Chains A and B, each alone.
Chain A
Amino acid sequence: MTEPDFDVVVVGAGPAGSVTAALLARQGHSVAVIERGESPGSKNLSGGVLYSRVLEDVFPGCLDEAPYERRVTRNEVVFLTPESAVGLDVASDRLADPVNAVTVLRARFDPWLAAQAEEAGAYLMPGVRVDRVLTAPGGSGAAGRRVVGVQAGEDELRARVVVAADGVNSFLAREAGLRPQPPTHHLAVGVKAVLTLPEHVIEDRFGVSGDEGAAIAYVGDCTRGVGGGGIVYTNRSSLSVAVVLRLDDLVAKGLAAADVFEHFLAHPRLARYVRGAQVVEYGSHLVAEGGWDMLGEVVSDGMVVVGDAAGLTINSGLTVRGMDLAIGSAVAAAAGVSAALEADDVSAAGLSGYRERLLAGTVGRDLRTYAKAPAFLERPRVYGDYGRLLEEIMVDVFRLDGTPRKHLARVAVDALRRSPVRLRDLASDALAGVRAL
């Protein structure tokens, strides 16, 4: 048998891969990280709100040096119709201190994370695409094979454990037979642009100062009714603007993803934020949307799957979380892999401590809490009728047009009567919403 080149080969230098590598290297294991981008982060994009506590647990005090953009001190949720916006704006010191979330740009943030892995002793190989896993006979699975390394072009790299941290399209996990291609209602496409604006303009328009920032989530007309939503997040001197579109619904509605994005950019409610801004980058990326239902096997003989590759994203409609879950899964995986290496048992059974830690920790608990969210968010009324209903109610409350005033409850009942939403739909959606979110 060929001697392994490394204890662990990690494929993918996103948050999941770099944190797994850093923790394993810290414990004295030899670790290589392979990244297909010319540098870490060059293939990655996200909306950009990183719930940062889990990162601070791994790298105490890291917010002093990590290249984040702004601390999120203001969250807003806005229901959009073609002409109106009804929003809930939350600004609280309790979101600011201690820091709850920061905005990041991945082409700057991921290299910093990868550097932490290198500092801990991991060997980084950028610009290399892994083509397949290497297997050998043995193992407990049906195919009777175990993973013993990876192949990249002509090169083979052998490892006792391979960590698939290769993102939402994970070719590695699929090829190893661990995870089937997700159904299209478990995937969404994110379409994003970064737009530059002077810092003081951002501060004025969003009502923040210093390194404070805002995260605004839009529901409704921003996606032209396609399941999903829109976001505007503030960076230091730019804005991240994106739509997230559920693939089954995008295809069913026959809309073009680029058109929906342009529609959002051109929406009058957005114009106030993006006026005069310059597009500096345009990108797209898939988002895992299945939540708990998407979490399948994460461990096999000689391999573990972390982060997006394992489908670990939570979309509650108000927040998209993936980076913090990627880091959370990395913490669980590093502990599980380390225990397996020390016990010299890298079989699926030997590595199963990862899965247990994952499910017992925040990642597993939150996935379970939001298990019903994806199905709830497939209810179409969320993206159209409710925005309209809220608009009617709020406009009626504020518009003094000489007609006799009515109590709020009466206004709501009348608006509901005019709306296509039936009372029993509302009751059913409200109940489902309360249970799911």
Chain B
Amino acid sequence: MTGAKPSTAERLARNRFELDEDESHIEVHQDVVRATGCGPVLVAVCPARVYAEREDGGLDVEYAACLECGTCRAVAPPGALTWHYPRGGFGVSFREG
């Protein structure tokens, strides 16, 4: 790598995303997240660093950077997230894969 290794944000910046301005494909149910304390786990597992913890124990979500892997959904306790794929044609588009 040239110089310092790129951060996740820099790596993500190379990808092509078709942003769906009208609809987030990830919905966080803050009450469940706070009650189960799953916030830190979701922050950690996401390779795109989509989640960030809020001071009240809830989660912010930057759905535009999502790589659509489904990892968060697989480890989240029931009811914490509503997660589906973005609408057809939206979201990340890999040019290499």
Contact = CB atoms under 8 A, between A and B. Distances in A.
Interface of A: 36-38, 41-46, 105-110, 126-129, 152-153, 168-169, 171, 181-182, 184, 187, 189-191, 193-195, 238, 247, 250-251, 254-258, 261-262, 265-266, 274-286
Given A38-B18, A41-B97, A247-B71, A127 B89 contact: yes
Contact of A258 (B8, B15, B73): B8
Given A127-B89, A282-B48, 18 more contacts: A38-B89, A41-B94, A42-B94, A42-B97, A44-B97, A45-B94, A45-B97, A108-B97, A189-B45, A247-B71, A255-B44, A257-B45, A257-B47, A262-B8, A265-B1, A279-B10, A281-B97, A286-B74
A277 B95 contact: no
Nearest to A261: B47
Give me the 3 closest cross-chain CB pairs, A-B, nearest first: A106-B97, A282-B11, A127-B89
Interface stretch (B29-37, B52-60, B62-70): B62-70
Given A189-B71, A286-B69, A286-B71, A280 B14 contact: yes
A274 B1 contact: yes
Given A129-B85, A181-B74, A194 B11 contact: no
A266 B5 contact: yes
Q: Which bracket fits the contact residues of B?
A: 35 or more
Contacts of B2: 276, 278
Nearest to A270: B1
A276 B47 contact: no
Nearest to A190: B69
Contact of A193 (B11, B86, B95): B11
B46 to A, nearest CB: 7
Contact of B93 (A37, A171, A278): A37
Contacts of A129: 85-88
B96 interface: yes
B35 to A, nearest CB: 18
B6 to A, nearest CB: 6
B88 A128 contact: yes
A184 B44 contact: no
Contact of B97 (A46, A262, A279): A46
14 contacts: A38-B18, A41-B97, A44-B97, A106-B97, A107-B97, A127-B89, A129-B85, A129-B86, A171-B84, A251-B41, A257-B45, A258-B49, A281-B14, A281-B15
B87 A282 contact: no
A3 to B, nearest CB: 25
B26 interface: no
B76 to A, nearest CB: 11
B95 A281 contact: yes
A265 B71 contact: no
A189 B96 contact: no
Max count, chain B CB within 10 A of own CB: residue among A108, A128, A169: A169
A110 B1 CA distance: 29
Given A44-B94, A187-B74, A279-B6, A250 B88 contact: no
Given A107-B95, A254-B44, A283-B92, A43 B68 contact: yes
Contacts of A284: 47-48, 67, 69, 71
Given A257-B71, A281-B14, A282-B15, A251 B45 contact: yes
